[in-house]
């Protein structure tokens, strides 16, 4: 089937796997996931390119000289991409996408439109008397879908309640906790003895729906993206773009990008690699120029005035075609998310976002990397290093001993000074007591020598009164 976007969406459908509740999935088009399978041919080289960008501890030994050799005949390692392709197709793929945004922005409709299948069942509106939820909840829907013998386990994580309350200060926290809990679960799987059956439930992409106000990002938009941009691949989306004119969409995109740059928010950009063909480079530039994607979602099949059958929305003034690039950016969003960069989203999550989180967590737990593991041991250098360490240790011990000795001397001097002060105080008290006793004895001596009694005599004078004895 041709990948022409103007082709009828009802052509080339194939039936596929089962929905989580046991119902059969409807037909899906043969255009989106076939490109995923074909992109696996270069996934090994791209993974190696991403890994080569990371920095590792280096030794003192110079890297070996690499020379180019001409093969004399066919060897066979050129078949490695085909081997990776066969293994990947046999194993299948896992992809988790999260949708975040206020209620009524068409999140469920856009997901159903992206994967051409009703992943979200129709929801019944709650009765007016029902009490609304007070916190953001996390809901997951998983489905196995298949296209051209390529199996995909798709998980969609929804966040109902986000931004729907009067106080939305911490509405981002349950979402961040859920993303990090998925990282935790994957880390636990890595630490198991048997790691043959690892399930990747990490969030590989987050579609953040921006309300089409036409002005700029709201504080809740900025805070959410600022909090989560280091944990997930952010893809900003302007929802319900059919409510604005083309000029308003262009101006709104410029304001959104200005806010993102001002707050240093990292959004996912399609990576470029060496020896990339010009067509792919031009395609990536075109996709990057459409960010944030102004999209319209619809699973309704309608007929245009010229007789074509398309997915879109019919209005009294005309028809909005979902798959028409002149009407919205849905095609570019699908191209980046599914047809071109799905594997890059998975690799970036695994090699950068998850690794950065894992490093932060292990450091917080007190786990440190032994850098000597990555070094070649030179006996002479090792001996010199040990001697230097021993001398440094001796110097440290000597300094500590001097410090302890000085402290002991100070404590002894303070104790002696205190004892001296106490003895001086006792001496002064005893001297004062002796002086007092001496003065009393001298006074008694003078009295004895003068013939005066030591104690005063009682007076015999009789008081006058009426009664006499």
Which pLDDT does position 265 carry in this prediction?
95
CB atoms within 10 A of CB 204: 26
Helix H or strand E encompassing 379: helix 379-450
**351 — pLDDT class (breaks 50, 70, 90):** very high
Which pLDDT does position 248 carry in this prediction?
93
CA atoms within 13 A on the CB side of 318: 4
> Does the pLDDT at position 240 exceed 70?
yes
- CA 35-36-42 angle, to 5 degrees, is 95
Q: What is the pLDDT of residues 356-415, one digit of tens each?
A: 999 998 888 877 666 555 555 677 787 888 899 999 999 999 999 999 999 999 999 999
Q: Provide mean pLDDT across the span 317-332.
A: 90
Q: What are the extents of the domains in the chain?
A: 13-53+80-123+132-369, 381-448
Task: Give residues with Cβ within 8 angstroms of 427, minimum separation 6.
Answer: none
**60 — pLDDT class (breaks 50, 70, 90):** low
- CA 282-285-286 angle, to 5 degrees, is 85
Q: What is the pLDDT of residues 5-24, one digit of tens each?
A: 434 433 333 333 443 343 43
- Helices and strands in the chain: count of H runs, count of E runs: 12, 11
Phi, psi of 14 (to 5 degrees): -130, 145
**Domain 13-53+80-123+132-369 in this protein, CATH class:** alpha beta
Exposure b/e, 12-40, CB count within 10 A at least 16 = b:
eeeebbebeeeeebeebbebbbbbbbebb
Task: Give residues with Cβ within 8 angstroms of 171, minimum separation 6.
Answer: 136, 161, 162, 163, 165, 220, 224
DSSP 312: E
Torsion angle, alpha carbons of 66, 68, 72, 78, to 10: 80
Distance CA 436, CA 416 (A): 30
Where are the extended beta strands (E) located within 50-188? 93-100, 139-147, 150-158
Give one DSSP letter per residue of 46-84, joined into a string.
HHHHHHHTS-----SSPPPP------SS--SGGGHHHHH
Three-class SS of residue 269?
coil
**316 — pLDDT class (breaks 50, 70, 90):** confident
> Does the pLDDT at position 211 exceed 70?
yes
Distance CA 228, CA 233 (A): 9
Beta-strand pair 150-158/139-147: antiparallel
> Does the pLDDT at position 51 exceed 50?
no
Distance CA 25, CA 12 (A): 16
């Amino acid at each position: 089937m041709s990948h022409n976007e103007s082709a009828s969406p009802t052509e080339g459908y194939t039936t596929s796997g089962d929905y989580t509740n046991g119902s059969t999935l409807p037909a899906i088009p043969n255009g989106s996931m076939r490109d995923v399978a074909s992109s696996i041919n270069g996934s090994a080289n791209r993974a190696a390119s991403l890994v080569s960008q990371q920095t590792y501890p280096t030794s003192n030994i110079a890297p070996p000289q690499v020379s180019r050799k001409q093969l004399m005949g066919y060897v066979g390692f050129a078949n490695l991409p085909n081997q990776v392709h066969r293994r990947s197709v046999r194993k299948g793929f896992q992809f988790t996408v999260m949708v975040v945004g206020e209620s009524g922005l068409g999140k469920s409709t856009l997901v159903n439109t992206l994967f051409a299948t009703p992943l979200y069942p129709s929801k019944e509106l709650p009765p007016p008397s029902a009490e609304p939820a007070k916190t953001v909840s996390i809901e997951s829907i998983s489905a196995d879908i298949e296209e051209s013998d390529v199996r995909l386990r798709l998980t969609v994580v929804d966040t109902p309640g986000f931004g729907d309350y009067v106080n939305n200060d911490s509405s981002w926290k349950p979402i961040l906790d859920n993303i990090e809990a998925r990282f935790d679960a994957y880390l636990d799987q890595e630490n198991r003895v048997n790691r043959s059956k690892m399930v990747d439930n990490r969030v590989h992409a987050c579609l953040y729906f921006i309300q089409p106000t036409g002005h700029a990002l709201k504080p809740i938009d900025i805070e959410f993206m600022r909090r989560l941009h280091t944990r997930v691949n952010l893809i900003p989306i302007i929802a319900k773009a059919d409510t604005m004119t083309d000029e308003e969409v262009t101006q709104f995109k410029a304001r959104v990008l200005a806010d993102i740059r001002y707050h240093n928010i990292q959004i996912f950009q399609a990576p470029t690699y060496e020896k990339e063909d010009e067509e792919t480079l031009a395609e990536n530039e075109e996709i990057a120029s459409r960010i944030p994607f102004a999209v319209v979602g619809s699973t309704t099949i309608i007929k245009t005035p010229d007789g074509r059958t398309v997915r879109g929305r019919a209005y009294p003034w005309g028809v909005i075609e979902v798959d028409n690039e002149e009407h919205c950016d849905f095609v570019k969003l699908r191209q980046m998310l599914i047809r071109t960069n799905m594997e890059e989203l998975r690799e970036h999550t695994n090699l950068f976002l998850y690794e950065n989180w894992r490093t932060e967590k292990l450091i917080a737990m007190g786990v440190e990397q032994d850098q000597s593991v990555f070094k070649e041991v030179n006996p002479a250098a090792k001996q010199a290093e040990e001697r230097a360490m021993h001398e440094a240790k001796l110097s440290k011990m000597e300094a500590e001993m001097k410090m302890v000795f000085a402290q002991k001397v100070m404590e002894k001097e303070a104790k002696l000074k205190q004892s001296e002060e106490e003895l001086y105080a006792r001496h002064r008290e005893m001297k004062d007591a002796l002086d007092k006793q001496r003065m009393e004895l001298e006074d008694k001596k003078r009295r004895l020598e003068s013939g005066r009694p030591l104690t005063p005599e009682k007076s015999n004078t009789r008081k006058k009164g009426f009664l006499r004895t």
